[in-house]
Amino acid sequence: MKTRFTEAFGIEHPIIQGGMQWVGRAELIAAVANAGALGCLTALTQPSPEDLTKEIARVRDMTDKPFAVNFTILPTLKPVPYDEYMDAIIQSGVKIVETAGNNPKDHMPKLKAAGIKVIHKCTSVRHALSAERHGVDAISIDGFECAGHPGEDDTPGLILIPRAADQLEIPIIASGGFADGRGLAAALALGADGINMGTRFMATKEAPVHENIKKRMVEADELQTTLILRSLRNTSRMFTNEVSQKVVAMEAEGKGIEEIGPVASGQKGRLVYETGDENAGVWSAGMCIGLINDIPSVEELVTRIVKEAEDLINERFKKIVA
């Protein structure tokens, strides 16, 4: 498949593994790159900019293909030295950065001066247009179905993707709700140049996620996600577990971030992936969890998605119009 995204970014398949806190580590990113898709190492998963530099080097030990680093700017419980993380990315010679969470404008001069291509992930057409004006090279447009932060507009991909395709000049990656070749073919039909998947890549052999959690993802259906932090206008879609339910209850009681923060903290969520205890903290999951039925290798997953989409376009669609 050739799209504006594969051509501009030099990636074989129109598939991105988007930034995932705690999951976007070297082993997964290298496996995605070696499968011909674009993996995003998640900067803030690393405890310091120095650790990020080492993790980037670990990716390079495992692949010579292109990969990206995700740089998310959202409220955090502890201050993050964003400029130092950005310097670590630039000094490591990374060629592609995925920005998310907030307007990337303050970082664009440095990124552009370093010749880095930027994919900005956002959840509304107005934010996408603003990022385009600030010089990003592609937009990942993230529908309400997505894991993590869907924004506050609640616009599903079926509307958001063609709206973005109508308005933007630069390549568009459809994000949120994608897990198989049907999704890829649909995204291309809606005007996108590729898909971004997070949750689907969590349930792969190479993802650094405890086996119990991968199995839980296979069992779960699309109803098992919960929106937390709505009351703080920092909505986040998480797996429905004891902790996400507790956060929703605390919000209903009018509690603020001082009390909610320790319960919803990412450090506790990290324990879920490490220990396999699904109730150790909150952990992200998109609605596409209902479409996940197995735990393939990354290579098997990427190959299968591309083939399924190609077969749909070449066979099913052709028969329908024949």
Out of 17, 21, 46, 226, the only residue in the binding site for ligand NAD (CB under 6 A) is 21
Range in contact with ligand NAD (rule: CB under 6 A) among 29-37, 155-163, 230-238, 287-295: 230-238
DSSP string for 268-301: HHHHHHHH--TTSS--B--GGGGG------HHHH
Closest approach, Cβ 24 to ligand NAD, in A, equals 7
154: left (phi over 0), alpha (psi -120 to 50) or beta: left
User: Which residue bears the tokens 């930034």?
Assistant: 19
Closest approach, Cβ 178 to ligand NAD, in A, equals 15
Q: Does 172 bind ligand NAD (CB under 6 A)?
A: no
Q: Does 264 bind ligand NAD (CB under 6 A)?
A: yes
Closest approach, Cβ 136 to ligand NAD, in A, equals 16
Rounded Cα–Cα distance for residues 15 and 180 (Å): 11
Q: Does 313 bind ligand NAD (CB under 6 A)?
A: no
Strands 96-100 and 68-72: parallel
Rounded Cα–Cα distance for residues 190 and 156 (Å): 13
CA distances to 75, 128, 141, 197 from 112, rounded to whole Å, are: 25, 18, 21, 26
Phi, psi of 117 (to 5 degrees): -85, 140
Range in contact with ligand NAD (rule: CB under 6 A) among 70-78, 82-90, 104-112, 299-307: 70-78
Out of 7, 10, 57, 77, the only residue in the binding site for ligand NAD (CB under 6 A) is 77
Q: Does 92 bind ligand NAD (CB under 6 A)?
A: no
Q: Does 265 bind ligand NAD (CB under 6 A)?
A: yes
Q: Does 17 bind ligand NAD (CB under 6 A)?
A: no
Rounded Cα–Cα distance for residues 148 and 194 (Å): 20
Neighbour-count burial of 318, counting CB atoms closer than 10 A to its CB (0-12 exposed, 13-18 middle, 19+ buried): exposed
Closest approach, Cβ 321 to ligand NAD, in A, equals 38
For 195, the 3-state DSSP assignment is strand
Q: Does 271 bind ligand NAD (CB under 6 A)?
A: no
Tell me the residue type at 60: R
Rounded Cα–Cα distance for residues 138 and 158 (Å): 19
Out of 257, 263, 291, 313, the only residue in the binding site for ligand NAD (CB under 6 A) is 257
How big is the chain by its Cα radius of gyration, in Å?
18
Closest approach, Cβ 293 to ligand NAD, in A, equals 23
Closest approach, Cβ 83 to ligand NAD, in A, equals 16
Q: Does 103 bind ligand NAD (CB under 6 A)?
A: no
Binding string, residues 132-171; x marks residues near ligand NAD by CB under 6 A: ----------------x-----------------------
For 134, the 3-state DSSP assignment is coil
Q: Does 234 bind ligand NAD (CB under 6 A)?
A: yes
Are 104 and 110 a contacting pair, CB within 8 Å?
no
Q: Does 186 bind ligand NAD (CB under 6 A)?
A: no
User: Which residues contribute to the site for ligand NAD (CB under 6 A)?
Assistant: 19-21, 42, 44, 70, 72, 74-77, 100, 148, 229, 232, 234, 236, 257, 261, 264-266, 269, 284
